[in-house]
Structure 1
């Protein structure tokens, strides 16, 4: 792999280099936003700018009635634009001080995206069992994101679990189960702000300093927790996102 998307040694080297080179005058007065973004990039998560909330539960983009306000990239070229380059991320962060950022999945990492309560239950079980859990983010819109290694590019295309909901975000509330963000998908990376009067956010529960685990090591606990969540929520029984394929 390249230096940008390499193994833990390469990522740790980039993080060490960044910490050594960080001077007080370079520190942005942004509540730690830039530092968190650079830490995510140093851990190997490729980033690109995203929209941000606007007054009235609106999105900063020009689309009338945006179905995913503040949750999508600003550029249609986000997959090629996504990078871990420190200088580029600093430029974006400083020139777009209100922007959220997405991380493109399927290059270095995947994300297992589950309902918040199911995620909390699974996280507690996994940690109690001594399973190595990687970075985990929590979103105030009711989801928990488990960051894992990517599965790569399987020879059998049928093995991919594409996140179809990224193409139809207006259906998100109808599918409470697990979503596997892999090639061609993305998620918001903390810190991110969501629309709402109570200032909802996306934040780290476990930061990017934790090594990315194999997704299969988490999958059983997550799918079991999602199944319990769906069973406990009769309103979603008929429309639950398939947990197995």
Structure 2
């Protein structure tokens, strides 16, 4: 076929293969279950809505705050498992489902703002303190995976440092009864959860939040001051 000299080639966006996406989600769920021995459970997923490129959550709520990235059933805690056979069966039924990890079992999660999390990671590296697995979410939050039982230790540590409450620092703890979305889960069209520090077979240990709290509190405090000055 002859092309007109000087004409620009039309760029055709690459369409994602839904089968590849489903395999990616299943592979991640199995890796968490088999390598890390973490319970996993499928969540919701996004569906094509009205209009070009529009996405809606499978839960049916038009105002869903976490489209495609939250529990899909009321009994999700009981359904969560680290059994590979069950994991395969669950994702075979809902291949596009988010990969959710219950907290308060193998780990808790300390949730901080993205800028504070990045500052904390830099300070921990300088201090040669290992933070363990760390994830970043599309809503600009950083998740630090720590040993279970973190809530009481966070409160104790913050009080010792002179802080009234975690809320004052925009610092949250997800423990028993909670959950986090794991990579490569997507938040609607906002993007995917990603590992900043990926869990591996050789990195199965988790830090005690008592070893991190002073650095996390410092970073969160600095970020709150900077935000007020903007």
Q: TM-score of the superposition, structure 2-length normalised?
A: 0.74
User: Once structures 1 and 2 are overlaid, which stretch shifts more, 204-213 or 109-118?
Assistant: 204-213
Q: Distance in 2 between matches of 1:139 and 1:213?
A: 21
Correspondence for 1:214: 208
Per the alignment, residue 222 of structure 2 pairs with 228
1:173-228: CA deviation from partner (whole Å, max 9, x where unpaired): x98711100011111011111112xx511011112222211122122111211111
Give the secondary structure class of the aligned counterpart of 2:66. coil
Following superposition of structure 1 onto structure 2, how do residues 22-33 of structure 1 map, counting pairs within 5 Å? 29-30=20-21, 32-33=24-25
Q: TM-score, with normalisation over the residues of structure 1?
A: 0.70
C-alpha distance in 1 between matches for 2:212 and 2:169: 18
Alignment partner, residue 51 of structure 1: 44
Q: Give secondary structure in 1 for the equivalent of 2:82.
A: coil
Task: Output the CA distance in 1 between the equivalents of 2:103 and 2:31.
Answer: 17
Please show how residues 174-213 of structure 1 align to structure 2 within 5 Å. Answer: 177-196=170-189, 200-209=191-200, 210=203, 211-213=205-207
Which runs of 5 or more residues in structure 1 are unaligned? 1-27, 153-157, 163-173, 237-245
CA contact (8 A) 2:46 2:58 kept: yes
Contact 1:54 1:195 in 2 (8 A): no
Q: 2:115 aligns with which of 105, 114, 117?
A: 117
Q: Cα gap change, 1:103/1:140 in structure 2, threshold over 3 Å: closer, same or farther?
A: same
Point out the structure with max Rg over C-alpha. Answer: 2
In the comparison of the two structures, how many residue pairs are matched?
Answer: 191
Shift in Å, 1:92: 2.1
Question: After the TM superposition, which residues 1-245 of structure 1 pair with which residues of structure 2 at under 5 Å, given as runs?
Answer: 29-30=20-21, 32-42=24-34, 43-55=36-48, 56-151=54-149, 159=152, 177-196=170-189, 200-209=191-200, 210=203, 211-234=205-228
Q: Does the C-alpha gap of structure 1 residues 176 and 51 become closer, same or farther in structure 2, counting only changes over 3 Å?
A: farther
Deviation, structure 1 residue 86: 1.0
Q: CA RMSD in A?
A: 2.6
